[in-house]
Chain A
């Protein structure tokens, strides 16, 4: 028996899985809120990606005979005022919401990081860039997004651009704050003493050490972008009506809310669950990646 045990322990120490060796992943797995959030978000993402297979019918196909059907075994989420399948519309709406959210996150990751890194690292740019971000941040987020979307005309693309413009200054702020801290650490000076140039130092030594707050920020940007996109399309400034979005579904169902509450309730719930999953995910990441916790353990 001892041999078997030995073999097991030897195998155990030698072949520990990636998951066990990575302390961040290990702590994330133990974080309940993160697991719930990540699980929910994964399901929502899969639904969005597989919309073509999940949706029972074309989201725009009208069936006048089946108008205002409440949720049932036949129509899981009921039908709307034109007899369109709410399930199909929610599923395709998820695709659009997540696509816009993702686009906003990517734009934030690119431009927010570039602006934040430039103003944190190059002192000369700092004042100019940060005054511009101050100006943009002085507007309430929804108002600014509304203004930009109205100026550019309603479409998914303009909604994404408007949302990116709203959140990029906030991301840049967070990146700048981390860069200001990291650039003063000794290893940056040591890298300079080894002859590394500014861009190389930024890319290899500064930014990798600023990732934790950035990742957390981006999950929250994703959540806010989903909500604000719904707001824009509710107000008619997102994707125009034939395209199903959670925002315009709520807007269209609004007039029937007394008799057919599910038409507004279901997209509202979808929105709430998506944002909740992203917030749980972000909270978990923040708890695990928080730089302050990390330093205290060093």
Chain B
């Protein structure tokens, strides 16, 4: 497994945003590897740093106010953060592309989808109009749009949300990327369309053998699609494991909380389980473990320092002091035990 070098390797990434109250840390010491053809799900609440991570990989972090303070993003062994703007432009839409959350507004309303699909191909691959058009038709066909020749002449407002997201996927994949970043690609869609789009992404991922980072707050999406999961909380990795590992043996209280928030289809509940509290203000982060104020397991020691990300099983990392050999009062707390 570990023999092939990773396609993407994020090392110690730290991103800050300058605000009126001083810098706020959006991503703190994030590290992960992604091999070619692998699917990584990044899960977390709004504001946990998922999208910012994706944007920094694309080199699209709005600077200012955002700033990468430390770390490196190695893509095929070269640091994307050190690349020139021109080089990054060639990579964006070429080797790495991205699809966004809002299919309704992600297409330019004044041009036909044919114009928009051919634009990127012509720019990246220096091909003529006819070849680009052929590619656009092929890609629309691949994403399951019927009679693509006619659809090329349509304007975005003539398409439904699901169709537009398909067009966005076609556009993102038109130059054969090695890595696709999908930032909540299904959040804005109907549930039935969500399933279709996920199936489509899965199928295309296999066909193109590309690596995918799927960013979501929906664990169902992760279970269906991802090979590995990275759970983020307030900018830090709290758990990083295979999908099976996360679902069978959640090892961080936050992951447990996320899992227990999914309503059980069998049970009749009056009240949905939720994690109490909200994400901390990035200017007033709690000392030590950032989840500690909302954690049912919290003890005084949690505030001592940030818990290290330690292995709890093979290729399963979690950042909770319960895994660092800390065993005082070893009885398992009752509150969230026995989830799933």
Contacts and interface: CB of A to CB of B under 8 A. Distances in A.
Interface of A: 185-187, 189-197, 200, 204-205, 208-209, 298
Given A194-B92, A195-B124, A196-B119, 18 more contacts: A186-B102, A187-B107, A187-B108, A187-B109, A189-B100, A189-B106, A190-B98, A193-B92, A193-B93, A194-B123, A194-B172, A195-B92, A196-B89, A196-B123, A197-B89, A204-B111, A209-B108, A298-B157
B93 A194 contact: yes
Contacts of A205: 108
Given A186-B106, A187-B107, A193 B58 contact: yes
B60 interface: yes
Given A185-B105, A195-B89, A190 B110 contact: no
A209 B58 CA distance: 25
B119 A204 contact: yes
Nearest to A208: B110
A204 B108 CA distance: 9
B93 A195 contact: yes
Given A194-B92, A298-B157, A187 B123 contact: no
B91 A193 contact: no
Nearest to A294: B109
Given A196-B123, A298-B157, A191 B94 contact: no
A54 to B, nearest CB: 40
Nearest to A123: B64
B60 A193 contact: yes
B193 interface: no
Contact of A190 (B94, B107, B124, B157): B107
Interface in B51-75: 58, 60
Contacts of A196: 89, 93, 119-120, 123
A194 B171 contact: yes
Contact of A192 (B91, B92, B101, B102): B92
A208 B111 CA distance: 9
Contacts of B124: 195
Interface string B139-177: 000000000000000000100000000001001100000
Interface string B95-133: 001101110011111110000000110011000000000
Contacts of A195: 89-94, 120, 123-124
Q: Is the interface of A mostly helix, strand, loop or mixed?
A: helix
Contacts of A190: 98, 100, 106-107, 168, 171
A195 B124 CA distance: 8
A130 B147 CA distance: 49
Contacts of B108: 187, 191, 204-205, 208-209
Interface string B71-92: 0000000000000000001111
20 contacts: A186-B100, A186-B106, A187-B105, A187-B109, A189-B106, A190-B171, A191-B108, A192-B58, A192-B60, A192-B92, A193-B58, A194-B119, A195-B90, A195-B123, A196-B93, A196-B119, A204-B108, A204-B111, A204-B119, A208-B110
B325 to A, nearest CB: 44
A50 to B, nearest CB: 36
Nearest to B157: A298
A58 to B, nearest CB: 49
Contacts of A191: 108
Contacts of B97: 193-194
Nearest to A194: B93
Nearest to B54: A193
A186 B187 CA distance: 15
Contacts of B107: 187, 190
B94 A187 contact: no
A210 to B, nearest CB: 10
A194 B98 CA distance: 8
A16 B145 CA distance: 26
B122 to A, nearest CB: 11
Given A195-B90, A205-B108, A298-B157, A189 B60 contact: yes
A197 B171 CA distance: 17
Contacts of B109: 187, 209
Contacts of A204: 108, 111, 119
Contacts of B60: 189, 192-193
B212 to A, nearest CB: 15
B123 A193 contact: no
Nearest to A297: B157
Contacts of B91: 195
A193 B175 CA distance: 12
B126 to A, nearest CB: 13
Looking at A192, A200, A298, which has the most chain B CB atoms within 10 Å of its CB? A192
Nearest to B174: A194
A203 to B, nearest CB: 12
A194 B107 CA distance: 12
Contacts of A192: 58, 60, 92
A169 B250 CA distance: 60
Looking at B91, B105, B171, which has the most chain A CB atoms within 10 Å of its CB? B105
A10 B91 CA distance: 49
A209 B107 CA distance: 12
A195 B119 CA distance: 10
Given A208-B110, A298-B157, A186 B92 contact: no
A190 B89 CA distance: 13
